[in-house]
Structure 1
Amino acid sequence: MTLRVGYIGAGVMGAGIVKNLRKHGFPVSFVVHSNRARVPELVAAGAVEVADYPALAAASDVVMLTVPDSSVVEPLLLGPDGIGPHLRSGQYVIDLSTSYPASTRNIAEVLGRRGIIVLDAPLTGSRSHAEAGKLNVMCGGPAEAFEHVRPLFDAIAANVFHVGAVGAGHTIKLINNYLGQVTVAAICEILPFAQKSGVSLKSLYDVVSVSGGNSNQFQGLLPRVMKRDFSINFQQKYVHKDIRYVTMAARESRVPTPLANALLTVHDMALDKGYGDEDFSGLLKFWEEMSGVVVAGGE
């Protein structure tokens, strides 16, 4: 049986996901969650816009979400005005968002009492990976449920992992994002020092690329910085949310995370300075402001 998908949050990442689900033959219905910018291309791909959550639930075997965080997921699934009241026993909910693990486990427990199966399946990759169907999926939840919906994951991802019980996917995603963003923060912090020391970015890039300081983040960030390319891939305010979630979850587990707390303070300051809507690479602009220097290009 071909799974029918109901989609909430077909925006920056979700639009590419919906188009790849359609490309692989899955019927997709959607409701507009926050803006209508991507609606024409979704309809052109064969997705069907429905009027409201009752209609979306009725048209779906699986409901998939890509929304900003748990403060949005919870009212959608547990609140009286969301889709939750209209879900039926035997339906699946897949949260592709980067949500708070404890919230995810609570949602799974509450909906599970009604026979609704919840999986957390956050993603890594960029907007271009979503468009190409080359994301990475880490799914938490019952193994049998994972196998049932796996064809959906295979349609949108290059790599698909079942990582354990409900909440494990969101935990691993937060750890991954923390590890990536602590590297980004270190790069952005040190580049003004390099600039003030008279070091060219190209020389820095050439040396680090063959040395111990190299990383995927360095390779992705430095070429963009050289061109002063701060186009939006992942906004600072969502980086801040992820690091905040890491520190909260670690405290709940009674695990000290002083480095994560320091990183959260950096992002607190960046948001206070108005950089929340900037791309994550725009953290460099914050450090430039703090250092009184603009990092030059790669010449």
Structure 2
Amino acid sequence: MGDVRVGFIGVGLMGHGMAKNILAKGFPLSVMGHRNRAPVEDLVAKGAREVKSPAEMAADCDVIVLCVTGAPQVEAVLRGESGILATAKAGLHIIDTSTSEPTLTIALAAELAGRGIAFCDAPLGGTPVQAESGALSAMVGADDAAFAVIEPVIGAFASRIVRVGAPGAGHTMKLLNNFLSLGYAAIYSEALAIGAKVGVTAQVFDSVIRGGRMDCGFYQTFMGYALDGDVNAHRFTIANAHKDMRYVTNLATNTGAAAFLSATVKNLYATAEGLGSGSKNVPQIADVVAQMNGVPTVEERKKAAE
């Protein structure tokens, strides 16, 4: 592995574990400073090299992994002052693991191909715990030649790699995946609120659904909050959920698709963020829907039970 030099931008909640596993697989690793110093210093202590800018990283790396919030951040890292493109040479491979806009990804891949740079998307499925253990899943959009180069790097942090098509296909599939989970959160929240109107508690609801055909991993993490008030049961903010749903509805608009449900789901998260809940986690959307319906929130139910 030692001949492929890897750079990593975004060593935050997910990125730290991913970068740690890249190091553990023997890749020389450069990381960029982060506002939270702890992950950077931990990786440097494990053998990573710290660089000050994306341009400094691009001058010395063969593959750069981006783990940032979304499309604006990807553009900033690429095109900003001291960005990757200031020093990027032909042969560089960029792996964007963020949840970004497929139309941007397709345009970037076409533009950078003209400079001999491969821009690939590999958005992720999984949690920070799975990032630490190297057990994420990755949905990869790349051509054959680029995939051959980037697959070993992705394999350092993902135990399941599904190649879904050309650049842009990964981000499309990730948005569809998130639409499902965020849509389920909206449905669960509404079902719980309707039940509460007639005295069907979250516990009764769960006793019927859990273990049945409508049970799933996401249901269980969602109900970790709805039943027990565990705010960290699913660590993904409502603001990020709103961003992802905007990307879904943008994609639908750009392709001319009829998109009734995605627009409704997007508007729920937009409302929740507008009401001040953007920094809360996705299962807490249940409280927003409860308040809209005049039934007790999870916190109010817990207090009443004490």
Cα distance in 1 for residues equivalent to 2:7 and 2:88: 11
1:98 aligns with 2:108: no
Q: Counterpart amino acid of 1:272?
A: G
Alignment of 1:253-292 (within 5 A): 253-292=255-294
1:179 aligns with 2:180: yes
Cα distance in 2 for residues equivalent to 1:50 and 1:177: 33
Q: Counterpart amino acid of 1:78?
A: R
Match of 1:247 in 2: 249
CA pair 106-223 structure 1, distance change in 2 beyond 3 A? same
Q: Please state how far the C-alpha of 1:256 moved relative to its aligned partner.
A: 0.8
Aligned to 2:276, what secondary structure does the other structure show?
coil
Task: Kindly indicate whether the alpha-carbon contact (under 8 Å) linking 2:67 and 2:97 is maintained by their aligned counterparts in 1.
Answer: yes
Aligned to 2:98, what secondary structure does the other structure show?
coil
Task: Kindly indicate whether the alpha-carbon contact (under 8 Å) linking 2:55 and 2:82 is maintained by their aligned counterparts in 1.
Answer: no
Cα distance in 2 for residues equivalent to 1:149 and 1:217: 29
Cα distance in 2 for residues equivalent to 1:46 and 1:196: 57
Match of 2:169 in 1: 168
Match of 1:188 in 2: 189
| Cα offsets for 1:79-118 (capped at 9, x unmatched) | 4442211111111111010110110111112211111111
Cα distance in 2 for residues equivalent to 1:212 and 1:45: 45
Unpaired runs of 5+ in structure 2? none
Q: Please state how far the C-alpha of 1:34 moved relative to its aligned partner.
A: 4.2
Cα distance in 2 for residues equivalent to 1:239 and 1:39: 27
CA pair 112-34 structure 1, distance change in 2 beyond 3 A? farther
Aligned to 2:161, what secondary structure does the other structure show?
strand
Alignment of 1:54-69 (within 5 A): 54-69=55-70
Aligned to 1:237, what secondary structure does the other structure show?
helix
Cα distance in 2 for residues equivalent to 1:61 and 1:127: 26
| Cα offsets for 1:50-97 (capped at 9, x unmatched) | 122332112211011011110111122134442211111111111010
| Cα offsets for 1:118-146 (capped at 9, x unmatched) | 11111010111111111000110112211
- Sequence identity (%): 36
Q: Counterpart amino acid of 1:201?
A: A
Q: Please state how far the C-alpha of 1:261 moved relative to its aligned partner.
A: 0.5
Match of 2:297 in 1: 294
Cα distance in 2 for residues equivalent to 1:15 and 1:145: 24
Task: Kindly indicate whether the alpha-carbon contact (under 8 Å) linking 2:142 and 2:167 is maintained by their aligned counterparts in 1.
Answer: yes
Task: Kindly indicate whether the alpha-carbon contact (under 8 Å) linking 2:54 and 2:77 is maintained by their aligned counterparts in 1.
Answer: no
Task: Kindly indicate whether the alpha-carbon contact (under 8 Å) linking 2:8 and 2:32 is maintained by their aligned counterparts in 1.
Answer: yes
Q: RMSD between aligned alpha carbons? A: 1.7
Aligned to 1:220, what secondary structure does the other structure show?
helix
Match of 1:126 in 2: 127
Name the TM-score, length of structure 1 as normaliser. Answer: 0.94
Unpaired runs of 5+ in structure 1? none
Q: Please state how far the C-alpha of 1:217 moved relative to its aligned partner.
A: 2.0
Alignment of 1:210-229 (within 5 A): 210-229=211-230
Cα distance in 2 for residues equivalent to 1:216 and 1:245: 24
Q: Counterpart amino acid of 2:53?
A: D
Cα distance in 1 for residues equivalent to 2:209 and 2:200: 13
Aligned to 1:203, what secondary structure does the other structure show?
helix
Task: Kindly indicate whether the alpha-carbon contact (under 8 Å) linking 1:31 and 1:52 is maintained by their aligned counterparts in 2.
Answer: yes
Q: Please state how far the C-alpha of 1:190 moved relative to its aligned partner.
A: 2.1
Aligned to 2:235, what secondary structure does the other structure show?
coil
Which of the numbers 233, 236, 248 marks the counterpart of 1:234?
Answer: 236
Cα distance in 1 for residues equivalent to 2:35 and 2:87: 20
Cα distance in 1 for residues equivalent to 2:104 and 2:32: 23
| Cα offsets for 1:130-169 (capped at 9, x unmatched) | 1111100011011221122211111101100111111000
Name the TM-score, length of structure 2 as normaliser. Answer: 0.92
Cα distance in 2 for residues equivalent to 1:248 and 1:34: 30
